[in-house]
Amino acid sequence: MTRETVIHPSSIIEPGAELGEGVRIGPFCHVSAQAKLHDDVELIGHVTIMGDTTLGAGCQVYPQAVLGAPPQNFGHKGGHSTLEVGEQCVVREGVTFHAGTDTSRGKTTVGSHGLFMAYSHVAHDSAVGNHVTMANYAGLGGHAEIGDHVIISGYAAVHQFVRIGHHAFLGGFAAVVGDVIPYGMAVGDRARLRGLNLVGLKRSGMPREDISALRKAYRMLFAEGASLEENAAAVLRAYPDSELIGDVVAFVGAKDKRHFTLPARGKGAAEENETA
Pairing mode, strands 192-196 and 184-187:
antiparallel
Active site residue 46: no
Which residues fall within 8 angstroms of residue 203, CB to CB, at 6 or more apart? Answer: none
Is 142 marked active-site? yes
The secondary element (H helix, E strand) that includes residue 140 is: strand 139-140
Bridge partners (DSSP) listed for residue 66: 48, 96
- State the catalytic residue, choosing from 68, 125, 143, 147: 125
Q: Catalytic residue at 159? A: no
Q: How far is CA 255 from the centre of its chain?
A: 18
- Active-site option among 38, 98, 124, 159: 124
Q: Exactly one of 56, 58, 68, 142 is catalytic; which is it?
A: 142
Which residues are CB-contacts of 97 (< 8 A; sequence separation ≥ 6)? 66, 67, 68, 83, 85, 91, 108, 110, 116, 121, 122
Provide the annotated active-site residues.
124-125, 142
